[in-house]
């Protein structure tokens, strides 16, 4: 089937017995999307269309990053300019002691030491971050499920210091926790199992994996992770961040080349730097850029000696948490096979959240897990625990057991945490005898599609792929960051707002993380409030609105494919 | 710890490995001991600063390096005014079990204007009258140390780590500590366990002297073994047993020590060899068996352990 003029969806023939094949055919929806997309493409804005590449994609890949409207960009720069001017003014006043200086200062005895911080380094912190600091580090005092309790804080000196009023804001709708499958609970089978293991094994391990901290629970966990991912073996570590920063140096070293995506997470960047290999960056999710880099690497070799690179490692993430985009895995794997490079896939956000059986981005695209050389992920997001893992071939894991920095120097996972992971993973796989796992995955997929569609209909600019449960809503202006956070909290909804330096300076956003624990009522309440606040703060920048669907609001056919 | 502020990390290794690069950047100078643990080495590598190693616990060597740096500074005063200087030491060194000479370090700090970062993973909850670490042990004011970092995985038997010090220093890590900003926080279960452990430490200050007694006892008991020498302070709960004469090759040494460990394991004494990544360490310590003491072990158990180790060592090495 050749792609239509919009080029972003295509139909597969319906099977002989009349059932749908692979979920593309969705009654009238496919055609209307193609028409709307064609109309949108004709209007302004960049809507990325997937290149068909010989049918690598079995499902339509809808990813969009609408361009910033010019007026908004100009106003944002003006806003930052005004803030900077005021920042300089305040610094001047503080220096000449006209204004009281609230922040901590160096000890008197150490005044003649070289100053610990350069003045400009903290300019942003002092003058911009401090003004809206109450939107971050909010202490919560309950389990971060669909609703959460937040401790109320007040500040009488413009956020330099906070006092707890003693009140607790109860039942705040939680749109900020990475609780994709709703395992952040304090009741249920996971919690009971973890409590039992706590009584048996205690909390601390007090040793490293190689010395005396290798429990039978760890071995059980690793076997389970390997079978969950569909790989030969796996190894678990105590912290997700540390998994990347300690294992990439064990895998590559000097004389190797790392090709890393522009928007990779800090842990991947740190691991790549610590390894000592050469790092080259390709544009975000841009396969042409990656191919060009690969070609240059193979043709030109190492920079001065022109010898071939010892290893070429491509670092990508499953879901990029700031953009909400999904990696173009089929194309990456095709390129990797063509140029004989290795692939390191960081599935921190996508494991458990994508795919019909929750096995992550490999499952979502229907690919073979053996094609990915190193599958890394974390247990923090979908499994409600903490820690990370690496999965792959047995030789790779055996090598990592002896050479990983974490196995030799860092403590192993705590036993109750391991039990939580084991129970939740068994639940997702359906091994505990219930269909709770499958239901959660379905619910998450429905929630994602519904939420994204409604927000787009309202006219907000939403980045990222349609299937990603991370939904960034663009705010742009610095004042709106603070205003959005505070207004939403007043309406009893907790959101996470992100600004510089986690995002580019004019693209600040609010990031919603959907969860299987969110019911339709919760989502509707949240959407209503977001609508109100959007009107209040004039956040509806989008220039092309989707035609609102008059039929069913849920796309239930997403994962209802029957296996052929 | 009686400091102004503290910040919690969710993993012990990441604590010091994120704290150092938050303050020390390219162009700054860090003086670090040769026997520093791997986490410190990784933190230094991530910070891209100028690293100067001084001989283990040798204050004369450190002073020499500081003097050389001073001469360099006088040649280029403009650069010197923006180069920060740090001294990174451990309270009780994990790799050797020795203690750092903190009073001399503080004197050097004020004379040469360098800041001290103290890593107290092993000494927190062990040294000092109330278990507050090496500053209490020597009676030094805690404000003299710029940053104290420790992990909660040793004395507190939880997971995670913390950094404490003055607000001026610690608050910076809330936005620039990589392991803090870009990582998930500590699970409440582990935090609660650590809180309870701290409460126990505050309520029973007697356990620290009991622990030190036991350490001294086993240290003495293991002194006379032929073929093995005890490396470490008498009050350090984790010390090393190294071969008195090495066979010449590291692999042979490791095998011998492993045999001792295996035999001990058969007689129900659990020991372990100290593990290192041989290719990655800056200054690789010699192979050794690490012996760790807990306050819960009774005297008879300690005697039995010492006797078993002696017998096994004599059997294997002779």
What is the least distance, in Å, from the CA of B309 to any CA of chain A? 18
**What is the residue-wise DSSP string for A383-443?**
SSS--EEEEE-HHHHHHHHHH-HHHHHSB---HHHHHHHHHHHHHHHTTTSSSHHHHHHHH
The pLDDT assigned to A226 comes to 92
Res A61: pLDDT? 77
Predicted confidence band of residue B296 (pLDDT cuts 50, 70, 90): confident
What does the pLDDT average to over B174-188?
84
**Residue from B42, B113, B191 to probe the interface with A (highest A Cβ count within 10 Å):** B42
Q: How far apart are the first and last CA of chain B?
A: 48
Say what the pLDDT of residue A99 is: 67
CB count in 10 Å sphere of residue B266: 9
Q: Is the pLDDT of residue A539 over 60?
A: yes
Sheet of B238-243, strand order: B228-231, B238-243, B288-292, B272-273
Axis-axis angle for helices A329-339, A287-300 (nearest 10): 10
- φ, ψ at A444 (rounded to 5°): -65, -45
Task: Give the pLDDT confidence score for residue A548 in this predicted structure.
Answer: 58
Question: Closest chain B residue to A114 measured between Cα atoms?
Answer: B84
Handedness of CA A100, A104, A108, A112 (dihedral sign): negative
Query: Are the Cβ atoms of A116 and B158 closer than 8 angstroms?
Result: no
Q: Of the ranges A29-33, A150-154, B41-45, B302-306, which one carries the lowest mean pLDDT score? A: A29-33
Give how far B217 is from chain A: nearest CA, Å: 23
Say which residue, A158 or B33, is predicted with more confidence.
B33
Of residues A529, A496, A523, A533, the one with CA closest to residue A511: A496
pLDDT of A471-519, one tens digit each? Answer: 998 888 888 888 888 898 889 888 888 887 778 888 888 889 888 888 8
Identify the pLDDT of residue A558: 42
Which one has a higher pLDDT value, A161 or A274? Answer: A274
B186 vs A: CB within 8 A: yes
> Can you tell me the distance from the alpha carbon of B111 to that of B85, in angstroms, rounded to the nearest whole number?
12
Nearest Cβ partner for B189 among A403, A411, A416: A416
Residue in B12, B85, B172 nearest the CB of A117: B172
Q: Does A351 touch chain B (CB under 8 A)?
A: no
Strands (E), A32-133: 47-48, 63-64
pLDDT of residue A13: 41
Comparing alpha-carbon positions, the chain B residue that sits nearest to A143 is B188
pLDDT band for A104, please (50, 70, 90 cuts). low
Nearest to A420 by CA among A125, A117, A144, A198: A198
**Residue predicted with more confidence, A317 or A190:** A317
Q: What is the pLDDT of residues B30-64, one digit of tens each?
A: 999 888 888 888 888 888 888 988 888 888 888 89
pLDDT of A16 higher than 70: no
Both tokens of B224, joined, read 């006379």
Q: What is the pLDDT of residue A547?
A: 56
Query: Is A550 a residue whose pLDDT tops 70?
Result: no
Q: Give the nearest partner residue to B190 out of A105, A410, A414, using CB atoms.
A: A414
Higher pLDDT, A350 or A1: A350
Mean pLDDT of B68-76: 86
> CA distances (Å), A2 to each of A32, A53, A58, B225, B284, in order?
17, 11, 13, 82, 63
CA quadruple A348, A354, A356, A360: dihedral, nearest 10 = -30
| pLDDT score, position B221 | 83
Lowest average pLDDT, out of A112-126, A352-366, B251-265, goes to: A112-126
The position carrying tokens 């200054």 is B283
Question: What Cα–Cα distance (Å) separates residue A311 from each residue in A294, A301, A333, A399?
Answer: 12, 11, 16, 16
Distance from CA of B233 to the nearest CA of A (A): 21
* Inter-chain touch A118–B172, beta carbons under 8 Å: no
Query: Rounded CA gap, A45 and A38, in Å?
Result: 12
Q: What is the 3-state secondary structure (H, E, C) of A235-295?
A: EEECCHHHHHHHHHHHHCCCCCEEEEECCCCHHHHHHHHHHCCEEEEECCCCHHHHHHHHH
pLDDT tens digits, residue range B91-148?
888 888 888 888 988 888 888 888 889 988 888 888 888 888 888 888 888 888 888 9
pLDDT of residue A42: 38
pLDDT digits (tens, 9 = 90+) for A163-177: 888 888 888 888 888
B3 and chain A: CB distance < 8 Å anywhere?
no
Of all residues in chain B, the one with the smallest CA distance to A194 is B189
CB of A492 less than 8 A from some CB of B: no
- Give the pLDDT band of residue A344 (cuts 50, 70, 90): very high
Per cent of chain A over pLDDT 70 is 84
In sequence order, the 6+-apart residues with CB closer than 8 A to the CB of A187 are none
* A10 vs A56: CA distance, rounded Å: 12
Mean pLDDT within A191-218: 84
The structural domains of chain A, ordered by start, are 66-174+434-543 (3.90.1150.10), 189-429 (3.40.640.10)
Q: Does B138 touch chain A (CB under 8 A)?
A: no
Q: Which of B11, B12, B112 to mutate to test the interface with A (most CBs of A within 10 A)?
A: B11
Given a cut of 50, is residue A560 above it in pLDDT? no
Q: pTM value?
A: 0.84
As a whole number, mean pLDDT of residues A344-351 equals: 90
B29 compared with A157, residue with greater pLDDT: B29
Q: What is the pLDDT of residue A71?
A: 87
A102-133 per-residue burial string, b: 16 or more CB within 10 A, e: under 16: eebeeeeebeebbebeeeeebebbbbbbbbbb
Q: How far apart are CA B121 and CA B133, in angstroms?
A: 9
Question: Which residues on chain B are in Cβ contact (under 8 Å) with A204?
Answer: 153, 156-159, 193
> Looking at residue A393, what is its pLDDT?
92
Q: Do A116 and B167 touch (CB under 8 A)?
A: no
Q: Which helix (H) or strand (E) holds B258?
A: helix B250-266
CB of B295 less than 8 A from some CB of A: no
Question: What is the pLDDT confidence band of residue A55, given thresholds at 50, 70 and 90?
Answer: low
Three-state SS string over A47-60 comes to: EECCCCCCCCCCCC
Calculate the dihedral angle through the C-alpha atoms of A459, A463, A468, A473, rounding to the nearest 10 degrees. -60
Average pLDDT over residues B157-174: 86
Nearest CA in chain B to A381: B184
Q: Provide the chain A residues 472-491 that lie in CB contact (below 8 A) with chain B.
A: none
A124 SS3 class: helix
pLDDT band at A556 (very low <50, low <70, confident <90, very high): very low
Residue whose C-alpha is closest to residue A229's, from A396, A67, A36, A95? A396
B270 closest CB neighbour out of A118, A212, A403: A212
Residue A551 has a pLDDT of 47
Q: Hey, which residues 143-162 in chain B have their CB within 8 Å of chain A?
A: 143, 151, 153-154, 156-159
Confidence of residue A232 (pLDDT cuts 50, 70, 90): very high
pLDDT band at A324 (very low <50, low <70, confident <90, very high): confident
Of A104, A118, A205, the CB nearest to B167: A104
Distance CA A37, CA B194 (A): 55
Residue B86 has pLDDT above 70, yes or no: yes
Q: Is the pLDDT of residue A4 over 70?
A: no
Interatomic CA distance for residues A124 and A110, integer angstroms: 25
Is the Cβ pair B175, A125 closer than 8 Å?
Answer: yes
d(CA A349, CA A382): 8
B13 and A241 in contact by Cβ < 8 A? no
Pairing of strands A63-64, A47-48: antiparallel
* Mean pLDDT for all residues in chain A: 80
Per-window interface: B 84-103 vs A, CB < 8 A: 84-85
Determine the residue of chain A that is closest to B175 in CA distance: A125
Least CB-CB distance to B183: which of A203, A239, A408?
Answer: A239
Report CB contact under 8 Å: B159, A207.
no
Contact B169 A417 (CB under 8 A): no
| Angle B15-B18-B24 from CA coordinates, rounded to 5° | 130
d(CA A380, CA A178): 8
Q: How far apart are CA A555 and CA A27, in angstroms?
A: 11
Provide mean pLDDT across the span A179-185. Answer: 83
* pLDDT of A46 over the 50 cut: no
pLDDT by residue (tens digit) across A432-477?
777 888 888 889 999 999 998 888 888 888 888 888 888 998 888 8
Residue A103 confidence (pLDDT): 66
Asked if the model's pLDDT at residue A387 lies above 50, the reply is yes
Mean pLDDT across chain B, nearest whole number? 85
- B42/A238 CB distance under 8 A: no
User: What is the predicted ipTM?
Assistant: 0.87
B14 touches A at CB < 8 Å: yes
Which string of b and e fits B233-263 if b means at least 16 CB within 10 Å? bebbbbbbbbbeeeeeeeeebeebbeebbeb
Q: How far is B30 from chain A (nearest CA, A)?
A: 13
Query: Helix, strand, or coil here: A169?
Result: strand
Q: Is the pLDDT of residue A323 over 70?
A: yes
pLDDT per residue as tens digits for the range B187-242? 888 889 899 989 988 888 888 888 888 888 888 888 877 778 888 888 888 888 88
Three-state helix/strand/coil letters over A187-223: CCHHHHHHHHHHHHHCCCCCCECCCCCCCHHHHHHHH
Least confident residue range of A386-390, A391-395, B91-95:
B91-95
């Amino acid at each position: 089937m050749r792609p239509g003029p919009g080029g972003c969806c295509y139909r597969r023939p319906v099977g002989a017995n009349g059932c749908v094949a692979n979920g593309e055919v969705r009654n009238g929806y496919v055609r209307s999307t193609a028409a709307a997309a064609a109309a949108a493409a004709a209007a302004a804005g960049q809507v990325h269309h997937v290149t068909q590449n010989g049918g690598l994609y079995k499902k339509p890949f809808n990813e969009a990053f609408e361009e910033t409207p010019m007026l908004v960009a100009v106003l944002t720069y003006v806003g930052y300019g005004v803030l900077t001017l005021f920042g300089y003014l305040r610094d001047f006043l503080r220096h000449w002691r006209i204004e009281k200086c609230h922040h901590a200062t160096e000890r008197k005895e150490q005044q003649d030491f070289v100053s610990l911080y350069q003045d400009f380094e903290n300019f942003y912190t002092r003058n911009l971050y401090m003004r809206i600091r109450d939107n971050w580090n909010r202490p919560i005092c309950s389990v971060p499920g669909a609703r959460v309790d937040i401790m109320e804080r007040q500040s009488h000196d413009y956020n330099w210091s906070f006092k707890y009023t003693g009140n607790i804001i109860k039942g705040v709708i939680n749109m900020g926790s990475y609780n994709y499958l709703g395992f952040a609970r304090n009741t249920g089978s996971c919690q009971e199992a973890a409590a039992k293991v706590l009584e048996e094994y205690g909390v601390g391990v007090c040793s490293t994996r190689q010395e005396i901290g290798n429990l039978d629970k760890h071995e059980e966990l690793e076997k389970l992770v390997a079978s969950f991912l569909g790989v030969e073996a796996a190894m678990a570590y105590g912290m997700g961040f540390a998994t990347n920063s300690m294992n990439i140096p064990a895998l590559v070293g000097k004389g190797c080349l790392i090709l890393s995506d522009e928007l990779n997470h800090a842990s991947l960047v740190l691991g790549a730097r610590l390894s000592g290999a050469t790092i080259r960056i390709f544009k975000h999710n841009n396969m042409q850029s990656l191919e060009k880099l690969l070609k240059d690497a193979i043709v030109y070799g190492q920079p001065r000696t022109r010898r071939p690179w010892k290893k070429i490692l491509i670092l990508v993430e499953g879901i990029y948490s700031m953009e909400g985009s999904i990696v173009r895995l089929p194309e990456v794997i095709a390129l990797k096979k063509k140029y004989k490079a290795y692939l390191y896939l960081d599935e921190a956000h996508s494991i458990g959240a994508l795919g019909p059986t929750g096995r992550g981005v490999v499952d979502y695209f229907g690919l073979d897990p053996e094609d990915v050389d190193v599958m890394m992920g974390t247990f923090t997001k979908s499994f409600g625990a903490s820690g990370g893992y690496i999965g792959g071939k047995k030789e790779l894991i055996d090598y990592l057991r002896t050479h990983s920095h974490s196995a030799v120097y860092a403590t192993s996972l705590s036993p109750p945490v391991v039990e939580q992971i084991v129970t939740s993973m068994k639940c997702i796989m359906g091994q505990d005898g219930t269909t709770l796992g499958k239901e959660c995955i379905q619910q998450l997929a429905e929630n994602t599609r519904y939420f994204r569609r409604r927000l787009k209909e309202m006219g907000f600019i939403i980045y990222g792929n349609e299937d990603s449960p991370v939904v960034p809503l663009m705010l742009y202006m610095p004042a709106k960051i603070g205003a959005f956070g505070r207004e939403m909290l007043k309406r009893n909804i907790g959101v996470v707002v992100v600004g510089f330096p986690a995002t580019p300076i004019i693209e600040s956003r609010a990031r919603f993380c959907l969860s299987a624990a969110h019911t339709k009522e919760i989502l509707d309440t949240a959407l209503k409030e977001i609508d109100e606040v959007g009107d209040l703060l004039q956040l509806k920048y989008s220039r092309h609105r989707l035609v609102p669907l008059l039929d069913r609001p849920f796309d239930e056919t997403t994962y209802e494919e029957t296996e052929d | 710890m009686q400091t102004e502020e503290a910040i919690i990390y969710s993993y012990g290794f990441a604590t010091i490995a994120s704290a150092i690069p938050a303050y020390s950047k390219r162009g700054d100078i860090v003086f670090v001991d040769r026997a520093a643990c791997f986490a410190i080495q990784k933190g230094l590598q991530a910070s891209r600063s100028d690293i100067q190693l001084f001989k283990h616990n040798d204050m004369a060597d450190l002073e020499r390096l500081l003097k050389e740096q001073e001469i360099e500074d006088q040649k280029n005063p403009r650069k010197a005014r923006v180069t920060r200087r740090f001294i990174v030491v451990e309270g009780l060194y994990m790799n050797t079990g020795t203690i750092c000479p903190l009073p001399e370090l503080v004197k050097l700090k004020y004379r040469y204007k360098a800041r001290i970062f103290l890593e107290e993973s092993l000494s927190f909850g062990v040294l000092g009258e109330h278990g507050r670490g090496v500053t209490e042990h020597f009676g030094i004011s805690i404000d003299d140390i710029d940053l104290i970092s420790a992990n909660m995985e040793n004395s507190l038997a939880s997971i995670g780590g913390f950094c404490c010090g003055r607000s001026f220093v610690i608050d910076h890590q809330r936005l620039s500590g990589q392991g803090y900003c870009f990582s998930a926080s500590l699970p409440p279960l582990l935090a609660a366990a650590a809180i309870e452990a701290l409460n126990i430490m505050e309520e029973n200050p007697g356990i620290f002297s009991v622990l030190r007694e036991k350490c001294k006892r086993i240290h003495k008991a293991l002194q006379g073994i032929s073929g093995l020498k005890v490396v470490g302070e008498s009050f350090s709960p984790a010390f090393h047993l190294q071969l008195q004469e090495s066979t010449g090759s590291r692999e042979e040494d490791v095998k011998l020590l492993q045999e001792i460990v295996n035999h001990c394991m058969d007689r129900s004494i659990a020991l372990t060899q100290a593990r290192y990544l041989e290719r990655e360490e800056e200054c690789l310590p010699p192979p050794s068996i690490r012996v760790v003491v807990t306050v819960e072990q009774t005297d008879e158990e300690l005697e039995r352990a010492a006797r078993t180790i002696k017998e096994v060592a004599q059997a294997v090495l002779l």
